[in-house]
Amino acid sequence: MLTIKNLCDFGTKTHPFSMIKYFNRFMILIGFLSIICPLAGCADSESKHRDEYFIRVGDSVITVLDFNRAFEIAKAFYSHSEMQQPEAVREAQIRFVKQMTEEMILRERAKDIGIKITDEEVKKVVEDIKRDYPENVFDQILLEYAVPYQSWEKGLKTRLLMEKVVAKELGDQIVVTPDDVSKYYEAHHKNGELTPDIKKVSKDINETMTKNLRRKKIEEAYKPWIKELQKKYIIEVNKAQWEKIIGS
């Protein structure tokens, strides 16, 4: 049977958000993964009456209809053969529920600590993303997956919001020391042409290593942090609907 602990523990090694995919610059996927709440609407009080709730975290609600609609889109990222296997579909659904729950928690956390994303911030990121794609290719990708541009942009805003929360809560605590960089250099960059003396490494390589180390440390800190955060919010899952959709 479903318990909140089981839900939060399931798939922590493979779940895309738990693996901190939000650092990936391929923002098509990142934005796509975050269209859950925009498409679902993170239902308001009016929509709560139109459809039975499936997940509720604070003021955010995902209804059964929301979940089914969003999961149909998410299935595009799985192979056809996988989606023909009941157990594979069930595991994908559970991971999807876990991701939705984590995103809802982070949205609530953002409200609690006063973090917002401005339209100007979104506009700048969108311009940076589009710059990486040939003309019209970006729009074609969205069209291929039947994702409306407005929904994708809202999803991107959600993802940026979550990045900001993690950066505030975890990033400020992360320290990368010169010794960390030296060890990373020895493990990943030392070769016949480069000296092991970190002081002689080019500025660009040094900055890249520091960024990679910082990202790695945040990834390691994320799992225990999100588990602690889950304890601060009431996560309600409609068990009857869970069993209908996913099974006991």
Q: pLDDT tens digit string along 104-131?
A: 999 999 999 999 999 999 999 888 888 8
CA distance 39 to 71: 11
**CA distance readout (Å), 235 to 70, 73, 192:** 20, 24, 54
Selected residue with higher pLDDT from 114 and 15: 114
Instruction: State the residue for tokens 């016949």.
Output: 192
**DSSP E strands: which ranges in the chain?**
53-57, 60-63, 235-237
3-state secondary structure of 247: coil
Q: CB–CB of 62/53 below 8 Å? A: yes
> What local confidence, expressed as pLDDT, does residue 18 receive?
35
CA distance 196 to 193: 10
Q: Give the distance between the most distant pair of CA atoms in the chain.
A: 67
Backbone angles phi, psi at 26, to 5 degrees: -80, 80
Radius of gyration of the chain (CA): 20
Selected residue with higher pLDDT from 93 and 146: 93
User: Does residue 237 have a pLDDT over 80?
Assistant: yes
Q: pLDDT tens digit string along 167-185?
A: 899 887 888 888 888 887 7
> What local confidence, expressed as pLDDT, does residue 141 receive?
79
Q: What is the mean pLDDT of residues 199-221?
A: 77
Report DSSP state, residue 164: H
Tokens of 203: 């500025």
> What local confidence, expressed as pLDDT, does residue 85 receive?
93
Mean model confidence pLDDT for the chain: 76
CATH fold of 4-173+233-245 reads: Triger factor/SurA peptide-binding fold (1.10.4030)
Q: What is the mean pLDDT of residues 81-109?
A: 91
Tokens of 129: 């993303």
Selected residue with higher pLDDT from 59 and 192: 59
What are the extents of the domains in the chain? 4-173+233-245
Given pLDDT bands bounded at 50, 70 and 90, which one contains residue 2?
A: very low
Given pLDDT bands bounded at 50, 70 and 90, which one contains residue 14?
A: very low
Cα-to-chain-centroid distance, residue 177: 28
Among 30-39, 124-133, 148-157, 182-191, whose mean pLDDT is lowest? 30-39
